[in-house]
Amino acid sequence: MGYVYYLEEFYLTRYFDGKRVLITGANGFLGSHIAGRMISQNADLSVIVRESSDLWRIEEHLKNIRIFNADIRDFTCLYECVKKIKPDVIFHMAAYGVDSRQKDAFNAINSNLLGTVNILISAGKAGCPRFINTGTSMQYGNKEGKVDEDSSYTPSNIYGSTKAAATIVAHQLAADLGIDIATIIPFGVFGEKEGSHKFFPQVILSALSNGEINLTSCEQYRDYCYVENIIDGFLIAAQAQQIKSEIFNIGNGFTQPLKYYVDLIIKEVNGAAKINYGVLEQRKNDLWNPLPNVEKINSILGWKPKISIEDGIKSTVSWYKENYRYYEKRGR
């Protein structure tokens, strides 16, 4: 255990110093957190974002980031960027459909599947040795009991379908190109800078305004893990030299009803918000109890969440209190 702890501390504080790191989707929730870690570790950081992207999540780091404007659906432009960067590792975080309101099948296929193919082939041509891919629990679909990495993919929406296909194709392509690859599959993530359409920000922002909060019955069970724990897993996987082609579920490894998280948020906000359960209908194809088996990432990478749900919520609510303006500007 001491050896694993030493490796983890090394991985999380020193490894990326001077490394050429490329992040796609760095303007997003997870990507922005990885960008922040890379800056703190003195990485030579480049990001690929579309010219129209809103960079508010990484604006404090912009002076330390090389920004390349490209669309991952455009191979020619994308490859030119990757060739200039010559990355040692790529974190592929860009995706379409993270926002459940994004339902266009053509965009999902072109961004999630073809975009992943484009960035991987670009990586191979540019000589990048390591690639960290991002999956989603939605690619497993609605399953009973614990879901492990060998579970079949039976997605129930276009986002899950295209991410499942992208995972399969990415690992095949990486093998053909001689690139070490790990796919990290988060089951539920919360934390600072999350999109306002997501569950935690919706509840927090409404609670901070002391308004009424209309919710479903909130009887669905979820494994929500604090974002900094999840980022630890991404970073450790990127540096584990024994990893050649692996898929890792990541999460706490247990679920709680959504009401549990709402209660913790309301307690932390300490406001006068009124909770109306059962007002909203369940989303079509909603997952009721996605429970990850996280033994693989525990045993192979030595990863375990360091920050509890309660402490993560305290940190998250504190950040939203201080940064409410970002959401006011964007109409929440």
Residue 173 belongs to a domain with what CATH number? 3.40.50.720
What residue ranges in the chain does DSSP mark as E strands? 20-24, 44-49, 66-69, 89-92, 130-134, 146-147, 180-186, 189-190, 212-214, 221-222, 225-226, 245-250, 256-257, 274-276, 291-292
Token representation of residue 188: 């539920």
Residue 284's pLDDT is 67
| CATH code for position 273 | 3.90.25
CA distances from 88 to 60, 81, 110, 263 (A): 24, 14, 26, 43
Task: Say if residue 115 is in the same domain as residue 239.
Answer: yes
Task: Say if residue 149 is in the same domain as residue 112.
Answer: yes
3-state secondary structure of 276: strand
Residue type, 45: L
Task: Say if residue 153 is in the same domain as residue 259.
Answer: no
Task: Say if residue 230 is in the same domain as residue 269.
Answer: no
Pairing of strands 225-226, 189-190: parallel
- What residues contact residue 267 under an 8 Å CB cut-off, 6+ apart? none
Residue 1's pLDDT is 33
Token representation of residue 120: 């991987």
Task: Say if residue 176 is in the same domain as residue 29.
Answer: yes
Residue 116's pLDDT is 98
Task: Say if residue 162 is in the same domain as residue 71.
Answer: yes
Is residue 35 one of the residues assigned to a domain? yes
- Tell me how far apart the alpha carbons of residues 196 and 208 are, in angstroms, rounded to a whole number: 13
Residue 185's pLDDT is 98
CA distances from 225 to 60, 67, 277, 331 (A): 25, 30, 23, 26
Is residue 245 one of the residues assigned to a domain? yes
Tell me which DSSP letter residue 57 carries: G
User: What's the domain count of the chain?
Assistant: 2
Across 14-50, b (16+ Cβ under 10 Å) vs e yields ebbeebbbbbbbbbbbbbbbbbbbbbebebbbbbbbe
Task: Say if residue 206 is in the same domain as residue 163.
Answer: no
Is residue 315 one of the residues assigned to a domain? no
**How far out from the chain centre does Cα 65 lie?**
20
Please name which of 286, 15, 16 lies closest in space to residue 156, comparing C-alpha atoms: 286
Residue 65's pLDDT is 98
DSSP β-bridge partners for residue 212: 274
Q: Is the C-alpha dihedral spanning 191, 72, 96, 293 positive or negative?
A: negative
Residue 8's pLDDT is 54
Kind plus residue range of the DSSP H or E element containing 265: helix 258-269
Residue 22's pLDDT is 98
Task: Say if residue 153 is in the same domain as residue 278.
Answer: no
Host domain of residue 19 = 2-191+224-253+290-307
Pairing of strands 189-190, 146-147: unpaired
Cβ neighbours of 173 (radius 10 Å): 18
- Give me the tens of pLDDT residue by residue for the chain, a chain 332 residues long: 333 433 455 555 689 999 999 999 999 999 999 999 999 999 999 999 999 999 999 999 999 999 999 999 999 999 999 999 999 999 999 999 887 677 789 999 999 999 999 999 999 999 999 999 999 999 999 888 899 999 999 998 999 999 999 999 999 999 999 999 999 999 999 999 998 889 999 999 999 987 788 899 999 899 999 999 999 999 999 999 999 999 999 999 999 999 999 999 999 998 778 899 998 887 766 666 679 999 999 999 999 999 999 999 999 999 999 998 888 765 44
- Tell me how far apart the alpha carbons of residues 31 and 221 are, in angstroms, rounded to a whole number: 26
State if pTM tops 0.85. yes
